[in-house]
């Protein structure tokens, strides 16, 4: 039951974040005849909006897969979960920043840093569960844990590369963010029954 | 259980979208004695607000009817569902745009295109379920599937007509959007026990 | 189960509306030394905020009491419920309007008209249930139905008086809105076990 | 069941408040080359954002622990709960105010006063449950009740000190808010199974 309330709270936060993203796409304030070009100029914002929408969706998916392995909650787990939610809740800010200042190094870096922080927190939670088998339905054995490592390493490594490259080749950073997202989406889509089997 | 969390997430997104719509109706900033005319000028915004409110409600209703036939989830289904939610979450933008630029062709078209994209995604999900009977409580047989086709075809055909007519007869586009909505609402209202029988 | 999803959706809308109300209380943009007077000038907004917060809470409470008597849903009931949610979702607009233009007749009237529309929809739902005992756990008999009538009549009558008096004695309108709210809150608080017995 | 709906509503409000906080961190509107300094100037806002995020999380945690002891709801309990939610829902306002006017006495005081009001309401709810054992799974005995008193007293005493010191040593007020938060987080984290045993 208690787990249900944490899940409901967590799902609520994800659902709100993913829906709030649209609020930062403000309608242009121009003469009707200038609306077409004004909307075209918004395309970078649309790109970052769609990117962030699916990034949040991927985090929700991944959060769900972690949560279903949890049986009991302790205080530390709940705070780790809150820190994870913090980095997810923050998403509308880097999204709006990158949409407003497209291809600029600082927004590109801030966007990637938030993704990394969220991702690292997810990893810390997994490590915490690994060390606290009493909280899990079935203990996360060394092999399962090790199998997850490459995904975390590749994801964060690519994010780091995107953050650095934002100063020289911002288009490449964009491509890297999109590539990691696509990779994770394909990976999740291939799991035959993602919410049943771990 | 997993299905419950996807439903909770989906319901959350719909509830948030339908409630956020009001945030784009900004109060006028005028002298008190000019408030009356300023509010009258907002009537087109009120019209698009009410239209979108019930459009989102219809999508929620229709989403629910699809979801209740689903037994298991696979990764593809979850992403299709996310794409559906994307086109629903976007709604506050075309709604605000059409409210700010009433009877203009581009906002009229963008509004209709979003409706079509959401509707087509709903259809793709139905087709996916048709081809994956193992995900459904009871397989969607050819007859049931075929019975749904006219609704999708008429709805999208009318939306397409509204998008095109927005350049010449924007009032007709408005009437078409309202007519489709009214038609779907009446259709759903007539189902005697909509959340029990498929 | 279907009823649960409508309830979850409805609770979601109420929770979002009640929380969004704060977004319309914008922080003042002045020099730090002028902050005190600027905040004092915001008191009418705080009044309407608190008023609306508890008005939404009362509607949620009352909605819950209606919903627990419902066993089955038909299409009409769902649309009536959506119309009810429409008038609740709209609340941030009249609240912000009355906060921005305190003691002005038009905002006072719009505020009261929205309250009346929501209240009348609640009554229509009750009447619909009265005529469709097959949807209810136990049929709403004539005596129970008649017992509710005075509350609806007094509430709407007072709202109407407040709407009219807004042109002459806006303070009285404020007092009437607050009085109806206080009356309903006391009435609900006195029910010993409000969510068990009808 | 009714308790579940109040919990769902309450969780919804908390999830929305904690997520809405980010909306008040507006992206700067400057030339791209001035973005770095503009973002650095936002650091006080980031501090109050993170502070409020975890304050709301602590209230949610604490709310949950109270709610799990409740078996039945009466009208008074529901209104007390609503008053608690009012002071939580308000949080985005003092947060934005303190972020916009950092180290100023009035925003520092308003922030602390809201925290105190929420905390006192939580205490009133506990006292109400103490006097109404028929609403609780197991009556809150005198010893358990007394054990909670120091936490409430220390918390509110520190908040009061922070409110007063805001006029002379605003940095100390900030440190006190952070210290109370850290203290509560550590205290909750140490509970071995916080959502099972009272």
The tens digit of pLDDT for each residue in B137-177 reads 877 888 888 888 888 999 999 999 999 999 999 999 999 99
Token duo for residue C27: 């922080």
Residue A79, pLDDT score:
93
Give D15-55 pLDDT, tens digit per residue.
999 999 999 899 999 999 999 999 999 999 999 999 999 99
Taking the C-alpha atoms of residue D105 and residue D173, their distance in angstroms, rounded to an integer, is 9
Rounded to the nearest integer, the mean pLDDT of chain B is 90
Taking the C-alpha atoms of residue D112 and residue D115, their distance in angstroms, rounded to an integer, is 5
CB-hemisphere CA count at 13 Å for C167? 4
Taking the C-alpha atoms of residue B51 and residue B107, their distance in angstroms, rounded to an integer, is 14
Give the best residue of C11, C82, C91 to mutate against chain B (max B CB count within 10 A). C82
- Listed residue (C1, C106, C15, C104) closest to C56, CA to CA: C15
Q: Max CA-CA distance within chain B? A: 65
Cβ of A15 within 8 Å of Cβ of B12? The answer is yes
Share of chain B above pLDDT 90, in %: 68
- The CA distances from residue D179 to A118, A185, D176, D183, D186, in Å, are 25, 41, 5, 6, 10
Taking the C-alpha atoms of residue B193 and residue D91, their distance in angstroms, rounded to an integer, is 42
Residue D1, pLDDT score:
47
Residues of B with CB under 8 A from a CB of A: 1-3, 5-6, 8-9, 12-13, 16-17, 20, 23-24, 72-76, 78-79, 82, 85-86, 89-93, 96-97, 100-101, 104, 106-107, 110
Burial of B127 (0-12, 13-18, 19+ CB in 10 A): middle
Helical packing angle, C43-67 and C75-89, nearest 10°:
170
Give A118-128 pLDDT, tens digit per residue.
999 999 999 99
Which residues make beta-bridge pairs with D70? Answer: D136
Give A142-171 pLDDT, tens digit per residue.
888 888 888 899 999 999 999 999 999 999
Residues of A with CB under 8 A from a CB of B: 7-8, 11-12, 14-16, 18-23, 25, 27, 29, 32, 35-36, 39, 50, 53-54, 57, 60-61, 64, 68, 185, 188-196
- Listed residue (B43, B165, B150, B168) closest to B111, CA to CA: B165
Token duo for residue A17: 């974040």
């Amino acid at each position: 039951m208690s787990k249900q309330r944490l899940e409901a709270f967590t799902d609520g936060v994800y659902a709100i974040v993913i829906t709030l993203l649209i609020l930062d796409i403000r309608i242009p304030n121009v003469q009707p005849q200038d609306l077409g070009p004004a909307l075209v100029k918004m395309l970078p914002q649309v790109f970052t909006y769609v990117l962030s929408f699916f990034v949040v969706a991927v985090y929700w998916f991944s959060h769900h897969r972690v949560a279903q392995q949890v049986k009991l909650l302790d205080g530390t787990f709940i705070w780790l979960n809150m820190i994870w939610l913090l980095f997810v809740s923050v998403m509308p800010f880097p999204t709006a920043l990158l949409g407003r200042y497209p291809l600029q190094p600082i927004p590109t870096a801030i966007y990637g840093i938030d993704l990394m922080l969220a991702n690292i927190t997810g990893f810390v939670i997994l490590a915490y569960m690994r060390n606290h088998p009493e909280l899990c339905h079935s203990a996360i054995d060394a092999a399962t844990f090790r199998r997850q490592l490459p995904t975390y390493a590749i994801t964060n490594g690519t994010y780091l590369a995107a953050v650095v490259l934002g100063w020289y080749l911002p288009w490449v950073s964009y491509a890297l963010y999109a590539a990691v997202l696509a990779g994770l989406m394909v990976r999740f889509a291939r799991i035959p029954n993602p919410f049943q089997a771990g």
